[in-house]
Amino acid sequence: MTTTTTRQRSARITPPPAAVAVRRRRTARVAGAALATLTAISLPATALLDTADRPFVRALAGAAFVTVAALEVVVGWGLYVLLRDRSHSPAYAALVSRGGYAVLLVAAAGRLLWPGGDGVAGFRSDWSLALVVLGLHLLVTAIALWSARRVPAPVVVGVAVAGTASLFGALGGRLPAPDLLPGGGPLMVALLGEVVLLAWLLMTGRDADGR
């Protein structure tokens, strides 16, 4: 009788595989949509920095980066939910590092939004530190993806390479790629890693196993 009751309780607590699969797909889709949106916003927002001497343009760029920071939190949480079961510690570290990047990005955007602040020069200075954290996040995320044992190897390698290159560029090294956006070279490399993550999220949103 006791064994039967225990099994019944376990069945109520543990969701069926179909429900888990649906939840994973939904999480991947939300995180993927957030990542696609923030990527689409980041590029024009960075381009606006070249003409941010006008108050309206500077405020618009600042608001865009605050929006990006909010979406970063959504992506970080989605990745954590998808990876925590098989790779809890690295997934948690990835969540914290992505959250740290979001906080630093909001602080940098405040330079653009605060009247009489340091403007673009102050933003770029603070953003360079934030990009170091973003590169670190990509490396930690690659470890979490590898530890989960359910992610294709090209995804893990792509994210790891992007994180390494982003860290190298943000810390002052020369990147073997043209700086398509002035002052945004490390961002462009990091975005390559984000695109790889986006591809995996879209694949996971279609297939709950993420394979």
124/68 Cα distance (integer angstroms): 16
Q: Are 202 and 36 in contact (CB under 8 A)?
A: no
The whole-number pLDDT of residue 210 equals 46
Rounded Cα distance, 15 and 204, in Å: 19
Least confident of 79-83, 138-142, 205-209: 205-209
For 32, how many CA atoms within 13 A lie in the half-sphere containing its CB?
19
Mean pLDDT score, 131-139: 91
- What percent of the chain clears pLDDT 70, i.e. is strictly above it? 81
pLDDT, tens digit (0-9, with 9 covering 90-100), for 21-76: 788 889 999 999 999 999 999 888 888 888 877 888 888 999 999 999 999 999 99
120 in Cβ contact with 113 (< 8 Å): no
Banded pLDDT at 16 (limits 50, 70, 90)? low
Cβ atoms of 135 and 166 closer than 8 Å: yes
pTM: 0.82
Position 211 scores a pLDDT of 46
- In this prediction, residues 151-166 reach a mean pLDDT of 89
- The CA-based angle 118-69-161, given to 5 degrees, is 100
pLDDT band for 184, please (50, 70, 90 cuts).
low
pLDDT at 103: 96
Position of tokens 């630093």?
A: 104
